[in-house]
């Protein structure tokens, strides 16, 4: 008997599996295809030999009829029945093999679809996670904005109430004292003027934010000398409180290409910010230097400094540094935000360097006025929007 051979069959997953070749339907069909011809022939030969021995052993030629009839019955009918029986078995095996091949094909397709669906579900899950994270981040941002809005409303209410109270109090004192001396009247009027200016700055800041958010803020650049604007900002501030010293840069400064009104507001915001957080009698230093076609302007104060975790947030809208004095120090958290947007509209940058207990230095850049601009424009202001600066 032939020894059964073992072969390796590779499954759809790619893992080889050992199996007996005799159990393979295709191998059985090949054997049956050979056997259905050989077995009937072997049966026919056996019948012929058997009938010949049985009928001609005694040399009786009268047994020829029996021999032929035996061969016809056993030598033809048996092989024919055997042939068709084996053919039928082969057909059944072929049908079985076809069905199994179809099942294997369906299994492979099903596995592919399952794998594809699993991959799609994995991608959908990742996308869902990403969207959930984005939604959570947006929700946190909305909460933060809502908190900032509440704080802003509270601060603005305080900023409005304080100067209005001072104005009303001064007016009431003047009305109540009909014989008030001129010096006292001047003091009351000075208080009214200072508090009115404070209200004006608050309203102007809110209007600037509104223009910035609506992208309707326009700048009109021209050749500007920075020094007179520094002196003007310091002079306006000194009218309100003359308790600090100021140091200006030495020598003439190069002209910058900027909107003088916006530049004056930037300087006023930075100087006012330095004064608010510096001790009385401290020196506020203003400096300027050229670098790569730009003028770097810095405002340095000897104040309390800014915590490192706050450095990336101080230029955000409505943000105020939490130093425990947010209520006692006036401000609405818009000055640095407005200054940053004004500077960016000019194509410049702004940054801060600070150490707790040692003060802060706010620096920003503005483009220098080129000879071509001085010659072609001849000092005539141009016009530029915030969107133009971003392009």
What confidence tens digit (pLDDT) does each residue in 96-141 have?
Answer: 888 888 898 999 999 999 999 999 999 999 999 999 999 998 888 8
Task: For residue 234, count other CB atoms closer than 10 A to its CB.
Answer: 18
Residue 46 buriedness (CB in 10 A; 0-12 / 13-18 / 19+): middle
Residue 3 has pLDDT above 70, yes or no: no
What confidence tens digit (pLDDT) does each residue in 24-64 have?
Answer: 667 777 777 777 788 778 877 777 776 666 666 555 555 66
What confidence tens digit (pLDDT) does each residue in 332-381 have?
Answer: 667 888 889 889 989 999 999 998 888 999 999 999 998 888 776 544 44
Structure tokens at 346: 């000019």
* Close Cβ partners of 76 (under 8 Å, ≥ 6 residues apart): 44
222-320+331-375 CATH, one of 3.20.10.10, 3.10.129.10, 3.30.1330.120, 3.30.565.10: 3.30.565.10
Supply the pLDDT for residue 240: 64
Mean pLDDT of 173-194: 81
Is 377 within 8 Å of 338 (Cβ atoms)?
no
Task: Please tell me whether the overall predicted TM-score, pTM, comes out greater than 0.75 for this model.
Answer: no
| Rama region for 283: left / alpha / beta (φ>0; ψ in -120 to 50; rest) | beta
| Rama region for 59: left / alpha / beta (φ>0; ψ in -120 to 50; rest) | left
Is 44 within 8 Å of 60 (Cβ atoms)?
no
Q: What percent of the chain has pLDDT over 70?
A: 74
């Amino acid at each position: 008997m032939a020894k059964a051979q073992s072969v390796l069959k590779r499954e759809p997953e790619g893992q080889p599996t050992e199996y007996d070749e005799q159990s393979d339907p295709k191998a059985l069909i090949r054997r049956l295809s050979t056997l259905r011809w050989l077995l009937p022939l072997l049966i026919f030969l056996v019948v012929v030999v058997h009938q010949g021995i049985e009928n001609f052993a005694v040399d009786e030629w009268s047994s020829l009829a029996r021999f032929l009839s035996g061969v016809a019955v056993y030598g033809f009918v048996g092989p024919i029945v055997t042939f068709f029986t084996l053919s039928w078995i082969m057909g059944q095996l072929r049908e079985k093999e076809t069905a199994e091949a179809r099942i294997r094909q369906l299994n492979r397709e099903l596995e592919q679809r399952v794998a594809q669906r699993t991959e799609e579900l994995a991608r959908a899950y990742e996308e869902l996670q990403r969207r959930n994270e984005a939604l959570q981040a947006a929700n946190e941002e909305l909460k933060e904005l809502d908190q900032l809005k509440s704080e802003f409303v509270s601060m603005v209410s305080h900023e409005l109430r304080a100067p209005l109270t001072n104005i009303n109090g001064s007016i009431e004192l003047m009305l109540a004292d009909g014989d008030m001396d001129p010096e006292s009247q001047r003091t009351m009027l000075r208080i009214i003027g200072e508090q009115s200016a404070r209200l004006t700055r608050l309203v102007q800041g809110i209007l600037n934010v509104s223009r910035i958010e609506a992208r309707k803020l326009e700048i009109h650049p021209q050749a500007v000398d920075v020094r007179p604007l520094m002196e003007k900002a310091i002079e306006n501030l000194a009218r309100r409180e003359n308790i600090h010293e100021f140091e200006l840069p030495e020598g003439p400064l190069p002209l910058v290409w900027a909107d003088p009104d916006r530049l004056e507001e930037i300087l006023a915001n930075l100087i006012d910010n330095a004064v608010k957080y510096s001790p009385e009698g401290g020196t506020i230093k203003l400096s300027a230097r050229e670098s790569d076609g730009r003028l770097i302007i810095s405002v340095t104060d000897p104040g309390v400094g800014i915590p490192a975790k706050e450095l990336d947030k101080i230029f955000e809208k409505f943000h105020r540094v939490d130093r425990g004095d947010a209520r006692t120090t006036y401000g609405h958290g818009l000055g640095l935000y407005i200054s940053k947007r004004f500077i960016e509209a000019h194509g410049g940058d702004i940054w801060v360097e600070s150490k707790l207990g040692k003060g802060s230095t706010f620096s920003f850049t503005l483009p220098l006025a080129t000879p071509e601009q001085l010659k072609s424009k001849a000092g005539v202001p141009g016009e530029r929007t915030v969107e133009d600066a971003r392009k």
